[in-house]
Amino acid sequence: MATTAPPPTTTTSFTFPREYHFPPFFSRQTQATTHHAQCSKWSALIRAYSRAHKVFKLSLIDALDGELFHNAALHKRLSLEDARDMLDFMCREGRAEWIGAEKNVAWIWWRSPDEWAAAIADWVDQTGQKNSVLTLYELTESEATISQEFHGMDPELLQKALSILVKRGKAQVFGQEDQQGVKFF
Amino acid sequence: MGNNTSTHKISAQDKAILDMKNQRDKLHQYQKRITVLTDREKAIAKEMLAKGDKPRALLALRRKKYQESLLAKTDAQLEQLEKLTSSVEFALVQKDVVFGLQQGTNVLQEIHKEMGGLDHVEKLMGETADAIAYQQEVSDMLGGRISNHDEDEVEDELEALEAELTGVPLPDVPKTELLARERARAREREREGQLEQRVAMLA
């Protein structure tokens, strides 16, 4: 599953933006406005990349050697510190969230849990599965959801999204640990 | 609806369905595992064959065969499970349908009770017919009186209106008879008279 480490580079046809091929993009900009622009560009890039590769959790240590932070053609890479800065910036935007205080792994909200909840609810609505019982495994792993963006979703994130629906009274999660199911209303 | 979770109870049936679906998921996962295993056995067999170790290659292929038979069995089980699950779900739908029908029937009966039975409706219809007939009589009487009084006047007015609309006054009727025509007519009459006489004589 694509959770912590970005998958190998060959699997998708993700096209990097123009800035990615511009060496200064990888070094911290000193001028405040430039730095801000750099941060927003990185934020957009990280989200687009995560969406294309279905990365839900980004591990910085692993990602630093991946193509996202390391442009092999330019021999340029983002330092750990700068990468953390970028993710801090995304956290302030509400587009990322650190997991743990060590700031090594972060959720990348290319869709926020709220948006995920809406996507799942929409899918259930469209497929007429209200009032029927679905397993959590079925939601993310079965053939029925292959065309959906939440296919292969991180189980923890799924729980978060479902808990939002539960709070709104649109779903009910039940069953034992590891064998949970959900009923939509 | 809304945030009231108490209306969204998870019933025992839901739990049973979940159990079945979980079982199905487990079978799916099992199948995935077996598929990985068969692929590996195949790779091993190839490797052994390349090395010239035929017995081992055969062994790997036999294992692969066995695992494939397991796969077929799980497929059958999966089918059973899925059938059962959908039967249960369909039965639940049926239950809902019956409940809906029951509700509808109750409401219908309630409404009928409010209408007070067939006799009441019949009596009411009779009364309605009487009332309509009475009303008809009254309006006939009133209508007749009006026409007697005013019909002539109305017709006169209509004529006047028509004359007004056409606008052209009618030409005077000639008072003098045309002499030539009068004579021609007289001759014609004579001839007809003679014809009749001849017919009478022949007959």
Q: Residue B7: pLDDT above 80?
A: no
Does any domain span residue B182? no
Q: Residue B103: pLDDT above 90?
A: yes
Interchain CB contact of A100 with B (< 8 Å):
no
- Based on the fold, state whether residues B27 and B66 are members of the same structural domain: yes
Beta bridge partners of A135: A181
Candidate from B4, B17, B21 with C-beta closest to A169: B4
Candidate from A142, A169, A179 with C-beta closest to B22: A179
Task: State the angle between helix axes of A32-53 and A80-93 in degrees (0 to 180), rounded to the nearest 10.
Answer: 80
Does any domain span residue B53? yes
- Whether residue A109 contacts residue A99, with contact meaning beta carbons closer than 8 Å, is answered with no
Q: How far is B113 from chain A (nearest CA, A)?
A: 35
Does any domain span residue B1? no
**Residues A168, B3: C-beta atoms closer than 8 Å:** yes
- Based on the fold, state whether residues B144 and B104 are members of the same structural domain: no
Domain end among B115, B131, B155: B115
Q: Residue B106: pLDDT above 90?
A: yes
How much is the pLDDT for B168? 66
- Based on the fold, state whether residues B109 and B128 are members of the same structural domain: no
Task: Using CA coordinates, name the residue in chain B closest to A164.
Answer: B3
DSSP label at residue B44: H
- Based on the fold, state whether residues B86 and B17 are members of the same structural domain: yes
Q: Residue B163: pLDDT above 90?
A: no
- Based on the fold, state whether residues B77 and B91 are members of the same structural domain: yes
Percent of chain A with pLDDT over 90: 6
Task: Using CA coordinates, name the residue in chain A closest to B3.
Answer: A169
Does any domain span residue B192? no
- Based on the fold, state whether residues B74 and B35 are members of the same structural domain: yes
Chain B residues within 8 A of A181 when measuring between CB atoms = 14, 17-18, 21-22
Interchain CB contact of A174 with B (< 8 Å):
yes
* Across A48-62, A67-81, B136-150, least confident range: B136-150
Q: How far is A136 from chain B (nearest CA, A)?
A: 9
> What is the tens place of the pLDDT at every residue in A20-32?
888 888 888 888 8
Count the alpha carbons within 13 Å of A158 in the hemisphere toward its beta carbon: 20
- In whole angstroms, give the CA distance from residue A71 to residue A107: 23
Report the candidate in A15, A31, A23, A40 with the shortest Cα–Cα distance to residue A78.
A23
Q: Residue B6: pLDDT above 70?
A: no
- Based on the fold, state whether residues B17 and B106 are members of the same structural domain: yes
Interchain CB contact of A155 with B (< 8 Å):
no
CA B75 from centre of chain: 44
- Based on the fold, state whether residues B42 and B102 are members of the same structural domain: yes
How much is the pLDDT for B126? 93
Q: What domains are there in chain A, each with its CATH number?
A: 21-108 (1.10.10.570), 113-184 (1.10.10.10)
Binned at pLDDT 50, 70 and 90, residue A19 comes out as: confident
Chain A residues within 8 A of B15 when measuring between CB atoms = 174-175
> What is the tens place of the pLDDT at every residue in B11-45?
888 888 888 889 988 998 899 999 999 999 999 99
Chain B residues within 8 A of A174 when measuring between CB atoms = 10, 14-15, 18
**Residues A169, B5: C-beta atoms closer than 8 Å:** yes
Does any domain span residue B93? yes
Q: Residue B192: pLDDT above 90?
A: no
Chain B residues within 8 A of A179 when measuring between CB atoms = 18, 22
Q: Residue B178: pLDDT above 60?
A: yes
Chain A residues within 8 A of B18 when measuring between CB atoms = 133, 135, 174-175, 179, 181
Q: Residue A143: pLDDT above 60?
A: yes
Does any domain span residue B201? no
Number of structural domains (chain B) is 2
Domain end among B93, B115, B137: B115
Does any domain span residue B171? no
- Based on the fold, state whether residues B74 and B84 are members of the same structural domain: yes
Inter-chain CB pairs, A–B, below 8 Å? 51
Mean pLDDT of A152-177: 88
How much is the pLDDT for A8? 44
Binned at pLDDT 50, 70 and 90, residue B65 comes out as: very high
Binned at pLDDT 50, 70 and 90, residue A7 comes out as: very low
Report the candidate in A101, A104, A11 with the shortest Cα–Cα distance to residue A54.
A11
Amino acid identity of residue B178, one-letter, is: L
Domain end among B74, B96, B115: B115
Q: How far is A118 from chain B (nearest CA, A)?
A: 16
How much is the pLDDT for B4? 44
How much is the pLDDT for A2? 41
Highest mean pLDDT among B94-98, B157-161, B175-179: B94-98
- Based on the fold, state whether residues B79 and B162 are members of the same structural domain: no
* B94-to-A141, B90, B101, B103 alpha-carbon distances in Å: 30, 6, 10, 14
- Based on the fold, state whether residues B16 and B93 are members of the same structural domain: yes
> What is the tens place of the pLDDT at every residue in B128-162?
999 999 998 888 888 766 666 677 888 888 888 88
* Cβ contacts of B14 within 8 Å, gap of 6 or more: A133, A174, A181, A183
Token look-up 């064998």 returns: A179
- Based on the fold, state whether residues B17 and B63 are members of the same structural domain: yes
Range of the domain at B142: 116-166
For A60-122, give the DSSP string: HHHHTTSTTTEETTTTEE--HHHHHHHHHHHHHHTSEEEESTT--EEEE-SS-HHHHHHHHHH
Report the candidate in B29, B49, B193, B173 with the shortest Cα–Cα distance to residue A142.
B29
Does any domain span residue B49? yes
Mean pLDDT of A121-133: 88
Candidate from B8, B29, B89 with C-beta closest to A132: B89
How much is the pLDDT for A9? 43
